Amino acid sequence: MNISATGKPRAIAVLALLGLFTTQSSIAATEVPPYNKYYDTPIRNVLCQAGYLVTLYDNGYLKSCTVANGTQLVGKTGGNGSQFYSCSSSQPVNIYPDGHLSRCIITSNIQVGGHNGPNGGQFYTCKANAVVEIKEDGYLSSCTLGYSINVYGRYGSNTEIPYTCRDNASLELRADGFLSSCTLANANWVQTNNVVKLCNANSVIYIDANGNGSCGN
């Protein structure tokens, strides 16, 4: 092997100069703990279950694991607000770099602040024993609704209308706060490329960023 004057292989020295050699400290670590183990986040520590994969950020804080017991994690709600989310034991959780909850299965109904199209803030009741997912900006991304609610979605490129999303079914919101997908409580119209279609009650609708809608009738 060709060795440099410093004793390091020349290939490694060249890669380092080119920025192509990545040190272990810049890679998020993973491990499978043989026993239940606490891991730190910027907010609080979390007890992770033995035998399941744990992922850490490159600064050593917890990114994801299967929690060993029912635990309360701090998550944002409605932007800068925060509250405790009770996450189910023996289920996976995901945590943002700042320590706030990203995703877990909740053990009880909880209200989470989210956008609702042009109307701004809206609280959504998310149902127990289902996944809740929160955007990094603190607004709701998806959950199973505990109650039916009107959610604004795009209808074509220049119009927004309310869709009544039914309870006990999944709700997904777009990054801009408009409806992405839900199960309709009532029949409603969608529009795709200026062609309208009636979606039946209890059908799942999907609306893209351009206001094109479809359903599973």
Domain boundaries, the chain: 26-144, 147-217
Q: What's the one-letter identity of residue 92? A: P
15-46 residue pLDDT tens:
233 333 333 334 569 999 999 999 999 999 99
Instruction: Please answer whether residues 116 and 151 qualify as being in contact, where contact means their C-beta atoms are separated by less than 8 angstroms.
Output: yes
Query: Taking 90 as the threshold, does the pLDDT of residue 184 lie above it?
Result: yes
Task: Give the pLDDT score at 217.
Answer: 66
Instruction: Please answer whether residues 170 and 179 qualify as being in contact, where contact means their C-beta atoms are separated by less than 8 angstroms.
Output: no
- Confidence grade of residue 212 (pLDDT, cut at 50, 70, 90): very high
CB neighbours (10 Å) of residue 3?
10
85-125 residue pLDDT tens:
999 999 999 999 999 999 999 999 999 999 887 667 889 99
pTM of the model: 0.81
